[in-house]
Structure 1
Amino acid sequence: MAESADTQAFWAQLRSTTQARIGLGRTGNALPSSEVLALRAAHAAARDAVHEPLPIDEFAARIAGLGLGTPVTVTSRAADRSEYLRRPDLGRLPADLSQITPGDFDIGIVLADGLSPRALTDHGAGLLAALATQLGDYTVAPPVIATQARVALGDHIGEAMGVRTLLVVIGERPGLTVADSLGIYLTHAPRPGRSDAERNCVSNIHPPDGLAYTEAARVVAGLVAGARELGRSGVELKDTSRTDAVTGGDTLVIAQEGSS
C-alpha cells in the first residue's frame, strides 16, 4: 500500500535533518529498488575508501605548499593494505624513522591514511592549514605523512620528533553515510606505550556535512593549551564549548567560544 502524502511529507522533513537512512519506504515487504541500489553504492564507496591508496607525491606537494616545511613520509610495518587490515598491530609500529630529524618543537602533526586514505586526500591539506592558523602561538615541526598507519604509530613518530604534544590527523573508518571523515588524536608527551585513555579525539571532520576545519582546529587549540597546563592529555582533559574555563581537582575543562 502506498504511503499517504502526509506520511511522505513527515519522513521527508526528518530525512532533511540527518544523513541516517530513515523512512525509506517499502515495496511489499522489501525496500524500494532505488534504496537497495543506493545502499549498495554506499557500501561500495566505503570499501573503495578503505582500499584506495594515498597519492603520496601529489599529497606531499600540497602539504609542502602550505609553508610548514617539507613533509617526511614514513610507513608502518604493514607491508601492504591487506596486511594492514589483517594485522592492526603492525600498523602501530614504524618500519623506519631514520628520516625524522628531532628538534625542539611544541607541536608535531602526523597526517595518517588510517582506514580512509580518501579522507586524508580530500580534507588533509585544508585541515592542516586551519590547524596552523589556530596554533600560531606554538612552534610546529614539519609535518609527517604516515601510510598504513594506526593512531599509535604516532607515539613512535612523536618521540622521534621530540615534540611536546602530538596531533595525529587520520582517516576514520568509513560508514554507509560518510566515507571521507577525518579524526584528530591529541597525545601530550607522546611515547610508545601510551594508551587510548591518554589521548583526546576530535572526530567527524568532513565539511560541509561534518565538523568544519576551523571549528575542529579551534577545539584542538583549546585542548593543546589545556594539555600543556595540566601536563597530560586524555580522560582528565575535557573540552566544553559553552562554559567558562574551570579547574577542579586534577581535571581541567577547556572553554571554547561558539558550538562544537
Structure 2
Amino acid sequence: MKLSVYNSIVEIMHKHKSRDCLPLIVEKYPDFSLSTIGSIYAQDYQKKMRKTHHIHYNPAKMELYYEQYLRGVGNKERHVLLRLANEIELSPALLARIVLERHLSTTKYEGENPPRSYVTKLMKDISLISDPLLASEIHECLVSDDHYGAHVDNIKQSIGHEYEFKLNRILDTLNLAYIGEDQMRTRGFDKTPDVKLEVPFSVDGHVINWIESKASFGDEYSHKGYLKDQFWSYWNRFGPGMVIYWFGFIEELDTDREKGIILSDKFPDNIVRLNPNSVIK
C-alpha cells in the first residue's frame, strides 16, 4: 500500500470516528481486504489512545469520571460507562479501569491508589468485584471494546498463532527445514524470530535466514518499533531475514533490503533454494 493511499484511508477514519466506516473504505479501495482496513483502524485508534492517555489519567479527570458514573447509576441509568466513553472518545476498557481504580481507592484503600496488579486481576475476573452493578458495567465495556482489554489481547494472540501456523504449514509443504522459537530458546537465544531456517533461501537476490510473522498491518509507528526492539536483533544474531506483514504494509517502509531485512505481505512464490552443501555449518 502506498503511503498516499494509507493517509487517505486514515483521513476517512478520522472523519467517521467509528468502525462503521470500514465497509465504505473497502468499497472505495477494493484491492485491500476488510482485515487489512480493520488492522489499520485498530492501530490508528491505539495511537490516539496513547496520545491522549495523560489527559484522561489526570487525577481530576479520573475523579470527574467516577462522579459521573455514580450520578448515572444513582439515576438508574443503563450503559453509563459505555455512554461516557463515547462522549469523551476514550476506550471503554480504559474508562472502566479508571472508574474501578477510583472505586477501589474510595471503598477499600482509604484514598490511596490500589495496586496496579490488583486492578488488573479484577479486570480479568470481574466476579471478584464486590459491587455487582459496577462489575456489570465493566463487563459491558470489556465485551464492547474492540481494541483494549484481556478479551482483545486473547483474540490478538490467537490470530498471531493462526498466522504462525500458516507460515509453518507453508514451510512444511515446501519441505524447508526450520526451527521455531522454543527450539531456539533451548539453544540459548533470548531474541528469537518465529522461524530460523536451517538452510537459507533467497528472494530477489536477498538471502533469507529467518522469518518473522506479523498478523497486522505494517504502519510507520509499529514498524519502527519492531525494527528497534526485534528485527535488528534478529539480523545481528542470524543475518539477513524477512518480515511478513500478513495484512499488508506501507510500501515506502521497505527500505532496508540491501541492509538485510525485506518486507512482504505473503510468503513469496519466487524463492530460490540454496545448495545445503554450500552452507557453512
Q: TM-score under structure 1 normalisation?
A: 0.28
Whose helix fraction is larger, Structure 1's or Structure 2's?
2
Q: TM-score under structure 2 normalisation?
A: 0.26
